[in-house]
Amino acid sequence: MSSASPGGRTPSALSPVIAVDAMGGDHAPHEIVKGAVRAVREHGLRLVLVGRTPEIASLLTEEDAGREIPIVHADDTLAMHEGALASWRRPRSSVAVACKLIRQGDAAALVSAGSTGGVVATSTVRLRTQSGVLRPALALVLPTRPVPTILLDAGANADAKPEMLVQFAHLGAAYAQTAHGVAEPRVGILTIGSEPGKGNKLARKAAELLTATAAGPPKLDFRGNIEGHDLLAGLVDVVVTDGFTGNVALKSVEGAVRFAFDEIRGALTANPLSKAGALLHRKPLRELRERLDSESYGGAVLLGLNGTAVIAHGDSHARGVERACLLAHELASGRIVDQVRRRVTATNRSPTWLHRLGQGEE
């Protein structure tokens, strides 16, 4: 990640304001407030905490940070188990109030560790889709090296159209440029088989359309098919897919990594000799596990709205919240919303695109 920190404890007046949902997440509000204080003190970010004032104020006092972060009151919260429908009926939830701050121009992005479904639904309704964007997409970062790979859509749209996948490519490219400093992001499409023409109807049509529009404007470095086993190989900077496939693939990766660790733990402690050896590695293995967990599932980004929502893992502790705030800051500072607008506007003017839309296939 590029360094966004001005390196001091004093927030810069030019820095965008991030609205942090203090009430969402398994460890809210205490870990959220702790993470926010860290983000302010260690990275000089400008934050607002949104939620129930008395609770937040007392936690800030505990951290001796009563004057460092302003609070905006919200009566209500989204419950972690609440479905999308229920959640966007709550106009006074902390997420809804955070969105209001963005709409009013008082904040540029929001961070929440609340339920993904609830945050996606609330911010989609309250921030609205950017003009020209067919659908917002949820982007997740895979722990590839040296540069992380962004996968989208990770679950916002279970049923998608080929044109949406083309836009997702541009949303993802804007993310890679802004947050990972990649000048010309390489984009692949998740499908089955490595040759062109492989996949289901959706992937085949989307790949055709990506090929046809890659020359731009805006230019896109489209690298063709990516198979499941190459998701973590770091072959491209952005992988596009529909929200159903993306969510299944991400969770399969998550489950398989967990499974491999459990099996390896079993193998390493299977006999006394290897048990002795296992003690020698406890630390590197724990560090590795943390890296995989936090990097791959620490923060999903909802792209394509008039404002950026970073959704931290529900289980986030202070460090995860701090990272989510940093990511939101980087995306907002890099004006990702404007970048997406420029890309989408240019795409929508391309002859191939217009021709396609003219055929009524949208």
Residue numbers at the binding site for a second copy (CB under 8 A): 83, 117, 155, 158-159, 190-193, 195, 199-201, 203, 227-233, 241-245, 247-261, 263-264, 266-268, 270-271, 273-274, 276-281, 284-285, 287-288, 292
DSSP, collapsed to helix, strand or coil, labels residue 190 as strand
Residue with Cβ nearer a second copy (124 or 130): 124
Report d(CA 114, CA 122) in Å as an integer. 11
Residue 194 beta carbon to a second copy: minimum distance, rounded to whole angstroms = 11
Please write down the HEC assignment for all residues of 219-266: CCEEEEEECHHHCCCCCCCEEECCHHHHHHHHHHHHHHHHHHHHHHHH
Residue with Cβ nearer a second copy (260 or 354): 260
Please tell me what DSSP assigns to residue 334: T
Residue with Cβ nearer a second copy (178 or 241): 241
Residue 200 beta carbon to a second copy: minimum distance, rounded to whole angstroms = 4
Residue 196 beta carbon to a second copy: minimum distance, rounded to whole angstroms = 12
Residue 258 beta carbon to a second copy: minimum distance, rounded to whole angstroms = 7
What's the Cα-to-Cα distance from 116 to each of 83, 84, 262, rounded to whole Å?
A: 9, 9, 27
Residue with Cβ nearer a second copy (291 or 355): 291
Asked if residue 70 has a cis previous peptide bond (ω within 30° of 0), the answer is: no
Q: Please list the alpha-helical segments (H only) found in the chain.
A: 30-43, 53-62, 84-87, 94-103, 116-127, 162-180, 201-213, 243-268, 272-297, 318-333, 336-349, 351-358
Residue with Cβ nearer a second copy (106 or 263): 263
Please tell me what DSSP assigns to residue 151: E
Residue 34 beta carbon to a second copy: minimum distance, rounded to whole angstroms = 28
Residue with Cβ nearer a second copy (42 or 227): 227
With 0-12 / 13-18 / 19 or more C-beta atoms within 10 angstroms meaning exposed / middle / buried, residue 335 is middle
Residue 109 beta carbon to a second copy: minimum distance, rounded to whole angstroms = 26
